[in-house]
């Protein structure tokens, strides 16, 4: 006699999840008016406790939009010429991806936000499900002399499959 087996599965698309790192400190560049264009970087880490939903449900995670917003009294980010954002697995330096490569166009309007949509969502499933994911922001231009800050927002989407 054969027992009836029942498999239940749930598939869901998660269209929009925002992850924001507020007040990311960026070091100032002393005498930047004399030095000219320079580059600085700053990073932050998400641990598995921040990203458990990506691990536990056979999920796929995609970045589809990044925003960098002026903070700490800055009125605009017009001095920024280019921005690069990368993600890496802190336990495996070979597992990394460039998420954003932004070049400010000449004559771009003044703005306190660098707003970049990905032409195609970037699959970050392996990076996001790592024990610790390091997100590094590198910016170049004629940077402020004093320390400053930005907010970094990653807009994610995904697919979750759960079977039991």
Condensed to tens digits (0 to 9), the pLDDT of residues 56-80 reads: 556 788 999 999 999 988 999 999 9
Checking if the pLDDT of 106 tops 80, the result is yes
Checking if the pLDDT of 53 tops 60, the result is no
| Residue 47 binned pLDDT confidence (cut-offs 50, 70, 90) | confident
Comparison of pLDDT for 23 and 162, the residue scoring more = 23
Q: Which candidate, 137, 164, 118, 156, places its Cα nearest to that of 69?
A: 137
One of 2.60.40, 2.60.120, 3.40.50, 2.40.160 is the CATH number of 9-163, namely: 2.60.120
Q: In the chain, what are the domain boundaries?
A: 9-163
Interatomic CA distance for residues 136 and 164, integer angstroms: 37
Compute the C-alpha angle 96/131/23, nearest 5°.
75
Residues forming beta bridges with residue 52, ordered by sequence position:
none
pLDDT, one tens digit per residue, over 107-142 is 899 999 999 999 999 999 888 888 889 999 999 999
**Given this model, what pLDDT does residue 162 score?**
65
């Amino acid at each position: 006699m054969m027992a009836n087996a029942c498999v239940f599965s749930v598939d869901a698309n998660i269209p929009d999840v925002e992850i924001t790192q507020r007040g990311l400190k960026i070091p100032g560049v002393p005498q930047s008016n004399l030095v000219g264009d320079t580059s600085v970087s700053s990073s932050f880490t998400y641990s598995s406790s921040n990203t458990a939903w990506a691990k536990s449900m056979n999920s796929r995670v995609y970045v589809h939009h990044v925003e960098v917003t002026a903070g700490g009294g800055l009125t605009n980010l017009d001095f920024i010429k280019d921005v690069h954002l990368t993600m890496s697995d802190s336990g495996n330096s070979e597992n990394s991806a460039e998420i954003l490569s932004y070049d400010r166009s000449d004559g771009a309007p003044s703005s306190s936000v660098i707003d970049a949509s990905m032409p195609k969502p970037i699959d970050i499933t392996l990076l996001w499900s790592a024990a610790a994911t390091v997100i590094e922001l590198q910016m170049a231009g004629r940077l402020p002399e004093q320390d400053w800050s930005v907010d970094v927002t990653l807009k994610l989407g995904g697919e979750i499959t759960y079977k039991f």
